[in-house]
Structure 1
């Protein structure tokens, strides 16, 4: 199986917070998942913790390399820029990642949020999402019980799979 590609400064274990969520499901493919993930304006339709998605510079609604966008999640107004975008093609996994940031000074949060979507044998698809975070808010999130990042990203995965199943019918 493939893994996330991490930029310098955002390697898991070397930041204040890291979360990893993954599902492997049968009966869906990367081509079922990708349109729902890569079109950020659809996120609020299946993930309650995402709102007010909008793109800058006339881009969107599809994510693309270097596209700037805004959305609200976990109580943060997040500005983001896509740093990796490769659609799944010919058995190669889909990859999308963005650098997101919110706040200033002591309230500054910087994240690298990455997704990997790959077809597996026997009609299965693997969806992996991982995020590293830097800053004081990241420390607070890492220490929160239950972990809001792990739980929230699992909700995102579950909603994404449910929406893909509904669309595929």
Structure 2
């Protein structure tokens, strides 16, 4: 029996307790967790393989590479740039998955407020395979509106991010 690693969820963002939750996963051969991790954590590469992100900045300095506790901003899904902070950062190592999570927020009135946790798990598997799991839990009216659309734009958008990331890692 094989068990799979899972995202570490703070209670506030526990899947199924917010307004929108999406989960995307791919297992492929031909790339390593280290190759994926390098592209995922270097925000200067994001726009080269994912067209739903823009205006990435680091108001407090640092960057473009993400690190634990690093603040950054980015636009996505038509929202103005969201204020984000890395809350979990652990590079993949032998037998240990890479873990990256950030919170992102949009302030405003009740109709605009958005609070999310976007998490990634990147791990090498036996047989020369890599597993990449990305999940996001969202709170707020904009999240509920996304969840009510069929298909869910967040689910499709994150799949495009995941597919583009893996194509870029394979190059």
- So what's the TM-score if we normalise by structure 1? 0.96
Unaligned runs of 5+ in 1: none
> Deviation per CA, 1:4-51, whole angstroms, max 9, x where unpaired?
000121000111110000000011110110000011121111000011
Q: Distance in 2 between matches of 1:24 and 1:151?
A: 17
> Does residue 1:100 correspond to 2:125, yes or no?
no
Q: Secondary structure at the match of 1:61?
A: coil
Q: Are the counterparts in 2 of residues 41 and 54 from structure 1 also a CA contact under 8 Å? A: no
Equivalent residue number for residue 33 of structure 1 = 36
State the Cα distance separating 1:56 from its structure 2 match: 2.3
Matched ranges for 1:111-150 at <5 A:
111-150=116-155
The equivalent position to 1:53 in structure 2, one of 53, 56, 59, is 56
Equivalent residue number for residue 78 of structure 1 = 82
> Does residue 1:17 correspond to 2:20, yes or no?
yes
Q: Tell me which moved more, 47-56 or 119-128.
A: 47-56
Moved over 4 A (4+): none
Unaligned runs of 5+ in 2: none
Q: Distance in 1 between matches of 2:59 and 2:9?
A: 25
Q: Distance in 2 between matches of 1:81 and 1:56?
A: 11
Q: Are the counterparts in 2 of residues 111 and 131 from structure 1 also a CA contact under 8 Å? A: yes
Q: CA RMSD in A?
A: 0.8
Q: Secondary structure at the match of 1:82?
A: strand
> Deviation per CA, 1:113-140, whole angstroms, max 9, x where unpaired?
0000000010000000000000111110
Q: Distance in 1 between matches of 2:5 and 2:151?
A: 29
Count residues in correspondence.
166
- So what's the TM-score if we normalise by structure 2? 0.95
Q: Are the counterparts in 2 of residues 56 and 67 from structure 1 also a CA contact under 8 Å? A: no
